[in-house]
Every structure is written in C-alpha cells, then in structure tokens.
Structure 1
Amino acid sequence: MTAAAWIRRLEPLLLAALGALHSLIFVHTAAWPLQLLCVALLAWRVQAAPPRRAALLGWAFGSAWVGAGTWWLFVSMHRYGGLPAPLAMAAVAALALAMGAYLGVAMGLYARLRRGRGVLPDALLWAALWLLAEIARGTLFTGFPWLASGYAQVDAPLAVLAPWVGVYGIGAALALLSALPAVAARMGARALGLSLAGVAAVLGLAAALGPAAFTLGHGTLRVSLVQSNVAQDEKFAVEHLPGALQWLRQALDAAQGDLVVAPETAIPLLPQQLQEFDPNYWPALRERFEHSPQAALIGVPLGDFEQGYANSVLGLSSHTADRDPYRYDKVHLVPFGEFIPTGFRWFTRLMEIPLGDFERGPLNAPSFVALGQRLAPNICYEDLFGEELAQRFGEPAHAPTVFVNVSNIGWFGQTVALPQHLNISRMRTLEFQIPMLRATNTGVTAVVDEQGKVTAQLPSFTRGTLDAVVQAREGVTPFAWWAARAGLWPLLLAALATIALVLLRVRRA
C-alpha cells in the first residue's frame, strides 16, 4: 500500500485527533491561535474531498471535539449517577457522535456546493455552513451549545465582536478567517500569502480597536458569594444534611455583603421536606434578610412530588418582608439531569438522581429588584443560551444591571467542566457588557466584570465565602437588542443569504 493510500485511510483518525486537540483551547484560551490552525487544517483537507469524504472528515473532527471536551459527563453518569461504566461511556460517545453529525453534514454540503472559483466565495460558503451547523447544535432538540467555537475566542481579538453578534457570530468570523488560507493554499503561493496577510490585518485591527462601550456604570455592590463545597454523593444523603445545612446557615448569617448569594440547590430539600427537617430554618433566613439592609438570592427547589417542582432561586430583602419572596424558576433544563426526554425514562431510571424531572419557568422572567439594582438570576446550564438571556433586555428600562449565576457542577468532579463553564460566563458578560456573579457549590465561584475579566475568585473545592465589589452596568448592546426581538434568526438568515449569494455569483461567473 502506498504512502498516499495509508494517509487516506488514516485521515479520519488524524482529523479526530485534531478535533480533540481543538477541545483543549476552551480551557486554555490564551492558545486561541491554535484554534484557527485546527479549523484551517480541517478546511484544507475538506477542500479536495468529495461530499461523502468531506462529511466523514467533518464528522470525525466534530465528534472528537465534543467527545474530548465533554468526557466529564461520564463522571456524572457513572460516579454519581450509578450508571454502569460501559453504558456511561457509550452514552458519552453517542452524544459526541450525534453532535459531530451537524458539522459532518455541513462539510458534506460544502464539498457539494463549492465551485473553487475564488478564495472569498469559498471561504464565505464555509463560514456560513459552519454557522448553520453551530446554530443547529445549539438549538435543535433543546440544544447543546457547550464548546461552541466562539467560546475559545474569549481572550482573542475576535472577542470585540461579542456585543455585536454574540458567540455564534464570533464562531462564524473564526471559520471565515481559518478558511481563507485553507482555500488559498490550493490556488498558489501568492493567494496564500495575500490571505495570511489579510487574516493578520483583521486580527491586528480588532486587537487595536478593542470593544466598543455600550453600557455605563450603575453603582457598586459589595457581594458575598457562598461556596458550600458539598460532594455530590453527599448532597442528598440524610446523614450529611444536618452538617451541610448548619454550615450554610452560619455562612449566610456571617456574610457582610450588600448582596449574599448561595448556589444552586444550596438547600437541597423541597419546602415540605425542609419543614419536617427544621421548621425554623426558612423563617430564620427570612428574618435575617428581610429585617436588614442586605439582600439574598438562595438556590432551593420549590414545589412537591405530586404537583411538580422547579429548580429555583428565592430572593429576600426588606421589600419582601410583607410579601412572598422573589422567585425565579429555571427555564432551560438539562436533558436527563433535569427533565426526561420522550422515550428515555428507562435510561434515567438507571441513574440515582434525587430530583430529575423539573417543571420549566417563564422565559422572560423579571429581575430581582434590590439595592438599587436589577439582578437577573440564571441557573447553571442556562448561561449557555445568550439568545434566551437576551429576552430580558427587550425593555431597556427593565434590563438587568447584574447577572447572577448559581450553579452546582459538583456532578462533574475535578474536571475541565469548571473552567469551561467559567469561560462561558465570561462570554455572556462580553455579549451584554454587564457583570456576572457566580456562586457555585464546588467552583468556579467568581466575579466577572463587563469586559469578561475575572476580578475575584475563590479556590475551587474549598468551603468559604468570596467577598468582593462589583460595578453594575446599565445599557443594551446591539446583540442584546436584536436577540431580544428576533433570537438567533438574524444570524440564521445571514448564513442562508450568504450561501444563496455565493451560489448565485458562482453560477453567473
């Protein structure tokens, strides 16, 4: 067998290795140029491939990208969910292959539609199909946008596009800049040189200009963010509950911030269960915050097993002393972990999930108005969906001035899931140019400012309270404005229009 034949046979495996390498950049974001190289190499190999071959290469790259980046799902299903290891590994592999199929279809379409009559038309076609694949992965069947390509650019020059076009727009720009030299390489040294110079010029200009400012300072808050650090296999265990709840109560009582935040399901009991456990626990917390100048947001499940229950955040302040606490119910639930997809109840029954079939809250939830600020809670996985958070910016006078994310990703142990999630939150602050407070069970508990910078952080897997000062921001970015009104449709239509214009131009030529 010739060397060329061996390379052809091994090429899907090589592209899979490249996809796995690509997944590392979502943690090590300072290595963002490597992402451009990985995507450019994929584009280069797809250029000469027939449609079926291109689809296979895209599928290999995309599946390894998702699989290597989300292997920690195995920890949640096997270590904490009790699923047998072979079945947990198969589930992660099945998810990766399914998510990789979006990129595979896009690459197959690219190979079928491209005509090789110009660097820019082919590169634009590549970027438009890349964008369609990412939007499809992030929205269809409730969506799984974890590791969307734009997140790896959070520390890169292309991050200046965030307040204009959001993470998917950044991904499209990344795809375009990566495809230009890949397409040009097959058209001669002069074309390659010009394309590389163009890419360098765009990145240099973006770095020099920096982000435009769309929001203004709206006062400061002293915050206390509680990190309870309860191991996931102890969180719902009866023998560990007294100690964990006692520590939480002491931490909340001792907190000095104007705003005190406890993580997702910091109190892991439904109201009736908490009442039976300690009738005075919740009344004492209300007394603590409703008769003081401080305010609190506390993660707690609400409802009951008969009528249904929600993954919620309750807000307490002097304004709730004579009324019900503020309530936010999680909207975008995690498949299998928080709701059971049709036909998969057999699968979830194999896992040990105490609360696993939540009700959804309203999409456009009001903010918690306290301390002169409009505080917008979101729970864990929800901060992946910028287009959904944008719904809260439809009326500028009521738009949030601070995001508050409460999370429990103790399900995934000491893995790369934690820094990946932090970078997702950082991207949200760039898109909306308002800060994000992150109070988590095991990490990363942090304050992220409107420029995506982590200004304060608590060491992960430690028990404690992060005290910091955050500047609230008021205003609406272009992304927040158009996504609040049209969701991701503008990007979707832009991708379809680009494909149509490129094909029309090629046919006329």
Structure 2
Amino acid sequence: MPEPTRDAARRATGPRALLPLWAAVLVAVAAGLVLDLAYPSVGWWPLAFIGAGLSLVTLIGRSVWGSLLVGFIFGITFYLVHIMWLNRYLGVIPWFALAGAATAYVTLGSVLITLAYRWMPKAVPGRWAQLVLTPLLIAGLWTLRELVTGSWPYTGFPWARLGMSQSESPLSHLTSWIGVSGLSFLMVAFTAGVIEWLRLRQWSDVRTAIPVAAVGVVLLITPQFPTTPAGTMTVGSVQGNGPSGYFDARKPNDILNAQLSASTELFGQDMDVLLWPEGASIRIRSRTRRRRQCSTVCRRRWMLRSS
C-alpha cells in the first residue's frame, strides 16, 4: 500500500495497537511495579519515565474495553504496592478500598488517553501534530486525572502524583516554578513525545526530534526559582510510639502521653518550634459516642486524625 494511502487508512481507523491484549496486560503489571520503584521508598527516580511510558504504550490502539482492562491492571498493581503501608495502620479493607478508589481514576483516565490517541490523528493529521499536539494532550489528560484524584472526594488522595517521584532527582527544582502538577505534565509530555517520535520512524530527519528535545532541555536546564533568605529557625520534632493505628486499643490520652514522653529530652532546648505528628493531641473517649455527637464534617475530621 502506498504511503499516502496507508496514512489515510491510519487516520480513518486510528492507530494500530502496539501490543496484543495479553501482552499489554503483562506490560501494565510491569509498568505499575516499575513506577513504584521511582518513589522515595526506593528512590530510583528515572524509572518514573519508564513506568509512565510503559503504561502509555499499553493504551495506544486499544479498544475502550481493552483500555479499561489494562488501565485497571496498571492502577491496581501500582497502588496496592505503593500504599502497602496502609495495611499496617488501618488494615486490609481500607488498604484495598483506597487502592481501588485511586485505581478507578486511573482506569477512567486510561480510556480518555486511548481516545486521544485514536481521535487526534483524525482531528489534526500530520507528523507535527503527532509530535507536538499529541504528547501535550496526553500530558494534559494524565495531569487532569492526577488533579481530580487529589481533589475529590474528601479533599482527595494526592499521593503518587508523578512529579512526587522526583523529590530526590535533579528535576525537583522545577516545582519551584510550576509545582508538582506542572512537573508531572512535563514528564508525561517528554515521555509521550519520545513514544511518538519512535512511532513516526523518521529518525533520519533531525527536525522530528526537535519537540521532544525541547521539552528535555526545559527539564534539564531550567534553574531553581530565585529566593532571598529570610532568616533561620530551629525546629525540633518527635514521633511518639503511641497506639495511633486506627484499630489499636487505647485509653484516653494515650496518644498525647506518648508524644509528651518522647518530647521530654527536648524540653529546655533552644528551639523555635516543636513539631508533633498528625493527631498527636486527640483524646478519644468512645468511638460510638464520638460518632453520635459529631456532625458529618466533624466525623470526617475525626476519622482522618485518628488514623
């Protein structure tokens, strides 16, 4: 088939799937595991680009049902590993519930990304649209999903935004200009740009590498936002070993007394502020009684603090 005819057929039907569905499922599992390794618990930050890239590859050319499947597999694999610590403090049910809720956002976002890969060549054909507009659209959809996940419901669950994986990387200073969401956007734009450049297969034309190279330069050479020193302060912090788990048995003031005991050595030290952990001063008499007395807003706050 001549090249113009092939391009026309591709625009009419959308891109061909890069992977069969069974392979896409396996790659989605790998993507979730690889992406988790980029975050501070392990800290191999370059893997964020690989994990995100693998997840995008599984969505290109998929059907809606196929993207629901691979998006779910990617999301549940990532979140079950990423927030495994939740099982220690809250138990198995809250761990699976939160991972499932976050995965729902990933799954729906995956469908939007699949549709963007399908419709973009039809709406704006041409290689420059593929190299510039498609990566920007994919990055925008990824970042939109992160913003919604981090905002709703109950103020959301903003952990695991892609930009947070770069806290120990040379790219962390970019957040001083564009925030975590802006860094997520640039990372996905760069990753999606590399994928589109490879899919185009016109590597001999140096001009095709300009868009992705431009994003790479922005990531690498943007200096930190200039700041002016405003003085210093001495901060003390403690983490009392109290019964702070959601299902821990405790008496009134147990958590408070644990923080007071841990703070004893710091009393009298020359410091400006002493930091205690979240919920350190809460005093719980009876959960049943507390629930009855609180309004809906109060009850939500209590559940967050007591966790």
Q: How does the TM-score come out when normalised to structure 1?
A: 0.47
**Aligned position for 2:137:** 125
| Residue 255 to residue 99, structure 1, CA distance change in 2 (3 Å) | farther
Which of the numbers 39, 43, 59 marks the counterpart of 1:46? Answer: 59
1:470-485 mapped onto 2 (5 Å cutoff)? none
How far 1:309 sits from its partner (Å)?
A: 9.1
1:339 aligns with 2:286: no
Number of the residue aligned with 1:463: none
Query: Which protein has greater RCO, CA pairs closer than 8 Å, 6+ apart?
Result: 1
2 CA distance for matches of 1:138 and 1:216?
31
Q: 1:230 to 1:196 in 2, by over 3 A?
A: farther
Question: Which is richer in strand?
Answer: 1
What residue is the counterpart of 1:349 in the other structure?
none
Aligned to 1:256: 270
**What residue in structure 1 maps to residue 172 of structure 2?**
159
Please give the secondary structure, in 1, of the residue aligned with 2:78. helix
Query: Which of 67, 82, 87 is residue 74 of structure 1 equivalent to?
Result: 87
Alignment of 1:329-408 (within 5 A): 339=300, 355-356=302-303
Aligned equivalent of 1:247: 261
Q: Contact 1:102 / 1:134 at 8 angstroms: preserved in 2?
A: no
Structure 1 residues 188 and 47, CA gap change in structure 2 (3 angstroms) = same
| Distance (Å, rounded) in 1 between the aligned partners of 2:177 and 2:84 | 32
Q: How many residues in Structure 1 have an aligned counterpart in Structure 2? A: 277
Show CA shifts across 1:317-347 (max 9, x none). Answer: xxxxxxxxxxxxxx9x9xxxx619xxxxxxx
1:135 and 1:168 in contact (8 A); partners too: yes
For the pair 1:98 / 2:96, whether they are aligned, the reply is: no
CA distance change for structure 1 residues 119 and 52 in 2, over 3 Å: closer, same or farther?
A: farther
- Cα deviation 1:110-154 (Å, max 9, x = unaligned): 234221633212212211211222222122323221101110122
Distance 2:58 2:204 in 1: 17
For residues 218 and 251 of structure 1, do their structure 2 counterparts lie closer, same or farther at Cα, with a shift above 3 Å needed? same
Query: 1:25–1:31: 8 Å Cα contact kept in structure 2?
Result: yes
Deviation per CA, 1:205-260: give whole Å up to 9, x if none.
Answer: 543442121x3222221222222222435683369679636625634634431322
CA RMSD of superposed structures (Å):
3.8
Residue 488 (structure 1) aligns with: none
Offset of residue 176 of structure 1: 0.4
1:163-178 to 2 correspondences below 5 Å: 163-178=176-191
Contact preservation (8 Å) 1:222, 1:259: yes
8 A contact 1:73–1:92 mirrored in 2: no
Compute the displacement of 1:54 (Å): 3.3
* Structure 1 segments of 4+ aligned residues over 4 angstroms from their partners: 87-90, 191-202, 238-243, 304-310
- 1:108 alignment partner in structure 2: 114
Aligned-partner SS, 2:231: strand
Contact 2:164–2:180 (8 Å) recurs in 1: yes
Distance (Å, rounded) in 1 between the aligned partners of 2:81 and 2:65:
24
- Where 2:192 maps in the other structure, the secondary structure is helix
User: Contact conserved, 1:161 with 1:170, CA < 8 A, in 2?
Assistant: yes
Structure 2 residue runs of 5 or longer lacking an equivalent are 1-16
Instruction: Tell me how far apart the structure 1 counterparts of residues 165 and 139 of structure 2 sit (CA, whole Å).
Output: 17
Q: 1:357 to 1:64 in 2, by over 3 A?
A: closer
Q: Residue 263 of structure 1: CA displacement?
A: 2.6
- Indicate how the Cα distance of structure 1 residues 34 and 75 shifts in structure 2: closer, same or farther if over 3 A, else same: same
Letter in 2 for 1:184: W
2:3 counterpart residue number: none
Q: Distance in 2 between matches of 1:67 and 1:193?
A: 42
Contact (CA 8 Å) 1:180, 1:195: kept in 2 or not?
no
Q: 1:208 to 1:29 in 2, by over 3 A?
A: farther
Tell me the percent identity: 23
Structure 1 counterpart of 2:151, from 105, 128, 139: 139
- Give the corresponding residue for 2:13: none
Structure that is richer in helix per residue:
2
Tell me which residue corresponds to 1:228. Answer: 240
Residue identity in the other structure for 2:110: G
User: Counterpart of 2:270 in structure 1: which amino acid?
Assistant: Q
After alignment, is 245-254 or 23-32 more displaced?
Answer: 245-254
State how far apart, in whole Å, the 2-side matches of 1:241 and 1:212 are. Answer: 40
Amino acid at match of 1:123: P
TM-score normalized by structure 2? 0.73
- Going from structure 1 to structure 2, the CA distance change for 1:241 and 1:139 (only over 3 Å counts) comes to closer
Deviation at 1:70, TM superposition (A): 1.4
Residue type at the aligned position of 1:261? L
Instruction: Find the counterpart in structure 1 of residue 37 from structure 2.
Output: 24
